Chains A and B, each alone.
Chain A
Amino acid sequence: MKFQIPIGPQHPALKEPISLRMTVEGEIIRDADLRLGYNHRGLEKLAEQKTWIQNIYLTERICGICSHSHTTCYVQGVEKLMEIEPPKRGQYIRYLVSELERIHSHLLWLGVAGHEAGFDSFFMYTWRDREIVMDILEIISGNRVHYGINTIGGVRRDLDEQQVKHILDSLAILRQRSEYYQHLGTNEPSFVARLAGVGYLSREDAIALCAVGPTVRASGVPMDVRKDDPYGIYDEVPFEVCTAETCDVLGRTVVRIKELFQCYNIIEYLLKNLPTGPVAVRAPRRAKPNEVVSRYEAPRGENIHYIKSNGTDKPERLKVRAPTLGNYAATIKMLKNGFIADVPLIFAAIDPCICCAERAVALVDARSGQEKIISMNALKQLSRQVAAGNARKREAEWPL
Chain B
Amino acid sequence: MNDQIVIDKAKASLGDKALEITNPAPRRIFIRVKVDDLLAAVGWLRNEMGFTHLATISGVDLGQAFELIYHFANNFTCVNLRTEIPRDNPLLPSICEIIPGAILYERELQDMFGIVVQNIPDGRPLVLPDDWPAGNYPLRKDWKYERPPEVIPGGKK
Contact = CB atoms under 8 A, between A and B. Distances in A.
Q: Interface SS of chain B: helix, strand, loop or mixed?
A: mixed
Q: Which of A37, A209, A302, A360 is packed against the most chain B CB atoms within 10 Å?
A: A360
Contacts of A317: 58, 60-61
Contacts of A36: 126-127
A223 interface: yes
A316 interface: yes
A179 interface: no
Nearest to B130: A37
Interface in A352-368: 358, 360-366
Contacts, number: 114
Given A306-B58, A360-B127, A329 B104 contact: yes
Contacts of B145: 42, 45
Contact of B75 (A222, A295, A361): A222
A246 B59 CA distance: 37
Contacts of A80: 25
Contacts of A227: 75
B84 interface: no
B58 A362 contact: no
Interface residues of A, number: 43
A361 B127 contact: yes
Interface string A328-364: 1110000000000000000000000000001011111
Contacts of B25: 80, 292
Interface residues of B, number: 44
B129 interface: yes
A379 interface: no
Nearest to B56: A321
B101 A210 contact: yes
Interface in A22-66: 36-37, 40, 42, 44-45
Contacts of B126: 36-37, 360-363
